[in-house]
Amino acid sequence: MTACSSGADPKDVTPTSSTFTNGAQSPTTAAPNPNPVTSPSPGAVVSSDKVFNFVVPSGWNLSKKAQAVAYLSSATVAHNVAPTIAITRSKVSPAPALDKTVQMAMMQARQDGASVERLPERTVGGEKSVAFTAKSTEKNVELQRTYTMVAHDKALYVITLTSAQADAKRDEATLTSFLAGLTWTKKGDKGSTASGTTPAPAPTSTSN
């Protein structure tokens, strides 16, 4: 069984650099006064743009991907999908209003035919993030993408988890753990960079 190309190449949500006014706030668990966390977790590597540290989940592989500052994929294929986590970065000035940004991204996903749901806010690296899920069927495969957006140092980071809808609960747990271990680097930090890692081996298959 091979991985569905849709799962290997998650759709990008195009961030906006426009100036917005804040929309209505959703229930939040994010820190009211953001305080970037800069102490990396044990075993962490640094992104290719050298801005954040993260820990590769057990059973996942780190590899290069065009336009991504970090790209991880599960070594296990189930329901024709190898789950992936892709992190992209866009320079944004001034800092975006995240609530309006996520509303526009959700609108875009609806226009693409996905069923979307806003998620509660949470803290990523000590800073507020916004998120939503988008469910769609592509090439006869039922996919779920979870988009998490966080602004840091004049840039907007979009963290995209792509998984099979049937495995979404399992992969969401992996994403939650991954985000909990994400921290920001201090200027001058050095470490193992994502851009210098060995490409991930071919995923293995499991029964559906």
Predicted confidence at residue 202, as pLDDT, reads: 39
Give percent of the chain above pLDDT 70: 73
Rounded to a whole number of angstroms, the CA Rg of the chain reads: 16
Task: Return the half-sphere exposure (C-beta side, CA atoms, 13 A cut-off) of residue 59.
Answer: 11
| pLDDT number for residue 126 | 94
Q: The whole model's pTM is what?
A: 0.77
Answer yes or no: is pLDDT of 28 > 60.
no
pLDDT tens readout for residues 30-61: 444 568 888 888 999 999 999 999 999 999 99
CB 109 within 8 A of CB 131: no
* pLDDT tens-place string over residues 91-122: 988 877 899 999 999 999 999 999 999 999 99
State the Cα–Cα distance between residues 80 and 163, nearest whole angstrom. Answer: 10
Smallest CA-to-CA distance from 150 within 12, 46, 36, 72 is with 36
Peptide bond into 27 cis (omega under 30): no
Q: Is the pLDDT of residue 5 over 50?
A: no
DSSP H helices in the chain: 5-8, 98-111, 168-180
